[in-house]
Structure 1
């Protein structure tokens, strides 16, 4: 009887977690969704719980499993010690679900590289809840710029765009430039005066990345303030690409764009234009694969 080898790749971003899985006995690829698992935001215990629960729920219909190979790309797990700690705890959680368990945890930017280019060279720009720029050289060395999180960086991200949009609304209340963001926020969230904005932001603490689509929508409709926000945020993200390319000239001249923000065509077009203007000899494409595809590819390589 042949062994049942189960492969799972997880993309644990700032807003949600996606699992993709395959096995010899599976008629088709399996996908599941779960809550966010960034350990910097939800804590290590909750991160391990989210990841292990997704894997174990997926395994229920596939038992018995002889070999289990899991790769998780986790936002907020940028240091090797954090990655090792997560991998060790996840392995312990799953040790009774298969005869043999292999687990790898990497920063979520690395699975994006694998989704875009496999194990080959290239550069990815990720703009989701957060943002980061990552490249793999032809020699196989990784270089990263950004990924500092919403308190220190993440230009061009959903959080940064939403925060800038709300700042613009606050400035409009103070007599600054008028913007359609003000009535858009009022319609969407019922925030139509100064006191309501203060209460909503500081007491209710909404996920600011949820405001980003309103900023992009306003820009697409010609709002000057929103367009300035989009242009400046995109420019800061492109500047990080330029910083990375100063470090090395050994990257294949191709850029893949991915992340939740790139699902918006207006945002994607603005970022692509800015990159082409600054790096005209490079190809720039929006990646249509989920980053979890890269995690699944890495899971399949764990036993090689």
Structure 2
């Protein structure tokens, strides 16, 4: 079935890639799912290849296509240089799929903001394996806080909370505050000695973010150490919102929350409460649309 214009939005994350597309007749959306395409893990070349293959799958069933517009929000591609490389390689891969091809690659927080508020002002807080705060002022100016990766930051993320939980267990082995996390790690991972902890973390490379739900559950059950970790991490994420607001002015007082950590109800409630205490006059809601919606909106604007 031929289409004069095809708009494609991509949300490329660390766990999967989501595609939403729409043809010029607006007769319904096309959805696809693919493997993760974070360039920090797979490399720029493979990231572009994954995105290109998904787009080709959609477009080739609708030939001939006059104009193809693509917007990809790519986790792990926060720098303009990375975005340019992926965009160039993706455009090259799609050259033969349409008479004209327009490709835009942006940070995944940018498409989340578009999914939440369109092109209008607002702020998003993303808390998944990593974390970032991203906002847009009423004049279109954007600003980011966080998003430094697991070595330098990612406050309130699954990685940061899991790492803090493992550190608390290490401190307990050294004679520090006792915590329910120690027997929980023993039951889940067989970590019952300091040697076992070192082995699992350094030799077997435990998925540190997978420890985060254990910390949240322990906090919900009243463990003081786990509760302090959760309070500290969500407070640091709220601090990043404050830092962002100090740098960008005239922003609509509304925040959308998203990310894998928000799937945990205990974490979602704690983060919402922390942000509400810090910003009592703001609207704070969970994002009700998937970020790929924001990428599709941007792709449509490229067509217009």
Q: TM-score, normalised by structure 1?
A: 0.92
Q: How does 1:63-212 map to 2 (within 5 A)?
A: 63-212=63-212
For 1:298, the equivalent position in structure 2 comes to: 298
Residue-by-residue CA offset, 1:135-176 (whole Å, 9 max, x unaligned): 111111101111111111110011111111111222222232
Does the 8 Å contact 2:67/2:98 carry over to 1?
yes
The answer to whether 1:23 aligns with 2:23 is: yes
Question: d(CA) in 1 for partners of 2:58 and 2:191?
Answer: 41
List runs of 5+ in structure 2 lacking aligned partners.
none
* CA-CA distance at 1:252 after TM superposition: 0.7
SS of 1:8's equivalent?
A: strand
Question: d(CA) in 1 for partners of 2:294 and 2:263?
Answer: 18
The answer to whether 1:217 aligns with 2:217 is: yes
For 1:47, the equivalent position in structure 2 comes to: 47
**What is the aligned residue count?**
304
Question: d(CA) in 2 for partners of 1:87 and 1:70?
Answer: 9
SS of 2:249's equivalent?
A: coil
Does the 8 Å contact 1:125/1:258 carry over to 2?
yes
Does the 8 Å contact 1:15/1:129 carry over to 2?
no
* CA-CA distance at 1:66 after TM superposition: 3.6
Alignment CA distance shift 1:239-1:43 (3 Å): same
Residue-by-residue CA offset, 1:82-130 (whole Å, 9 max, x unaligned): 2111101011112223333221100111111101100000111111111
Greater Cα offset, 132-141 or 14-23: 14-23
List runs of 5+ in structure 1 lacking aligned partners.
none
Greater Cα offset, 187-196 or 131-140: 187-196
Q: How does 1:242-253 map to 2 (within 5 A)?
A: 242-253=242-253
